[in-house]
Structure 1
Amino acid sequence: MTTHSIPGVVRHDPAVEPPRHHQRVSWREIGLAAALILPNLILLIVFTYRPLLDNIRISFYHWNISSSRMRFIGLDNYIEWFTAEDTPRIVWNTVVFTVAAVAGSMILGLALALLLDQKLRGRGFVRSLVFAPYVIAGAAIGVAFQFVFDPGFGLIQDLLDRIGVTSPNFYQVPGWALFMITVTYIWKNLGYVFVIYLAALQGRRKDLDEAAEIDGTSAWRRLWKVTLPQVRGTTFFLLITVLLNSFQVFDIINVMTGGGPLGNGTTTMVFQVYQETFVNNRAGYGAAVATIMFTVVLIITVVQVRLQDKGAH
């Protein structure tokens, strides 16, 4: 008996291919996609990619920004920066400020998000208070915190006097000045990290927390084994965005210390770009520093993406 004679059994002949249904191209959808994407793409090209390429080009020239003429000097700006005496100090300031700002913002932001994710009275009002500094201009926050850290009549000086401790001179000692601007920036940026983490926590699977609690898992272990793995993608996103934002802080430094004390006590790379370009009128040298900054950030971002991909797999 062959398969043709068995009721209900259909024999598929491999020589006979089923008809193929060709998907028709929807020009209407393509046009809609182009209408939505092209304006953003044009803006990126005009205001991001073109200035970036132009900055790289200018970094190979000696150019007084007040002049209309530029002189090609090749890699001289880069050689000068890598051999300058103040470069190690500026790089150190940038690294310390960036690492402290990223770590402080993310740890405190996550802690506040975990706390205010609980059912507490008045948590909506507290959430608004935490987020409010983020929408205030950095220059305004810098001016306000000058009165907090002032060693003569500031808030910290008053609190330390009550316990008999002399207030550090935040404006004359480079280490304390760097600490001052770092704390100020963390306070401003905390609301951003807090809101992103809070949204991630509210979208996590609560049944996993309940199951772990029923199993008798400690709160600390639940945090590490249940909660944090669910916000891993959010943590990666914040690492990149907070790092980029911290690397580009200018307004708070300019208002509070002007890059000092002692010349470059709180000067970071982005502040050096401003100083060289608009104060010292060395636009080519400033462009070289900006290009080095871009390269470093690009490398860090690529490494983070690779690590994230490996962690996901």
Structure 2
Amino acid sequence: MQGAYKVLFFIPSLFSLVVGAMLFTWILNPVSGPIAYLMKSLGMTMPNWSNSGILAITVICFITNWKVFGYNFILLLTGLGSIPANIIDAAKIDGIPKWKLIWNVILPMNRGIAIYVLILTIVQGLQYVFTPINVITTGGPYYGSSNIIYQTYLNAFVLYKTGTSSALAIVTFIVFLVLLFIEIRFVEGKAKNYA
């Protein structure tokens, strides 16, 4: 049964982000989408989320999370499965409460994988959010749904401001270097200590 859940959660990561963005654009269409029809039957109206910066960012975040959730879920589940059963059994025999078992045993033993998933999520978020922004909002309204990666692309290939684009690319590179340092320091370093 666990394998079926893994497959079910992993399926969205197989879809292209363009397909996901188009699918969610149709589902969340404020005029003719299924959610708009459902809300209309309940006597409510769906807001035009593409004209609001905060709602557009929320939808884009939802699409990106839909894409990366399954892969990260599998990684975290694998980390939980790698905890030796005898440690958990010994804690249960000693009568340790479940919250202490989670806080003092399970979370510290999964710290490396949790940091790895956090860094991977940040990197994927910066990369993957480009496609929904480009397909759905093109950074609008008034660049309210834009991010640093999309601004780099916009300045380089649309506005031809290569200096601004280069500066944004360098800032992005520094962010990725910091994330790489954190990953090497906390994840790779812990792996060497266990070896």
Q: Secondary structure of 2:50's match? A: coil
Distance 1:172 1:306, change over 3 A: same
What code does the residue aligned with 1:204 have? Answer: I
Instruction: Please name the residue that 1:184 is paired with.
Output: 63
CA separation in 2, counterparts of 1:303 and 1:201?
22
SS in 2 for 1:166: coil
Aligned residue for 2:14? 135
Equivalent in the alignment of 2:177: 298
- Identity over aligned pairs, percent: 31
> Could you say which residue in structure 1 is the equivalent of 2:138?
258
Distance 1:195 1:304 in 2: 19
Does 1:202 pair with 2:81? Answer: yes
- Equivalences for residues 116-135 of structure 1 within 5 A: 122-135=1-14
For residue 284 of structure 1, report the CA deviation from its aligned partner. Answer: 3.4
Counterparts of residues 88-127 of structure 1 (less than 5 Å): 122-127=1-6
Distance 1:214 1:161, change over 3 A: farther
Structure 2, gaps ≥5 residues long = none
After superposition, the CA RMSD in angstroms is 2.4
Distance 2:131 2:40 in 1: 30
Paired with 1:154 and 1:205, the residues of 2 have a C-alpha distance of 48
Structure number with greater CO (CA < 8 Å, separation at least 6) is 1
Q: Tell me if 1:144 matches 2:144.
A: no
User: Are 2:173 and 1:286 equivalent residues in the alignment?
Assistant: no
Contact kept, 8 Å, 2:50 with 2:137, in 1: the verdict is: yes
After TM superposition, the score normalised by the length of structure 1 is 0.55
Quick one: which amino acid aligns to residue 231 of structure 1? N
Secondary structure at the residue paired with 2:49?
coil
Question: How far off its partner does 1:307 sit?
Answer: 6.4
Give the alignment partner of residue 112 of structure 2, picking from 225, 233, 236: 233
**Structure label with greater radius of gyration:** 1
Deviation at 1:222, TM superposition (A): 2.4
Q: 1:299 Cα shift?
A: 3.1
- Please give the alpha-carbon distance, in whole angstroms, between the structure 1 residues aligned to 2:103 and 2:40: 40
SS at structure 1 position matched to 2:74: helix
Matched, 1:169 2:35: no
- Larger fraction in helix: 2
Cα distance in 2 between the residues matched to 1:267 and 1:149: 19
Distance 2:99 2:40 in 1: 37
Superposed CA offset, 1:86-139 (max 9, x none): xxxxxxxxxxxxxxxxxxxxxxxxxxxxxxxxxxxx332221121011121111
Aligned residues: 189
Q: Could you say which residue in structure 1 is the equivalent of 2:90?
A: 211
Greater shift in the superposed pair: 154-163 or 123-132: 154-163
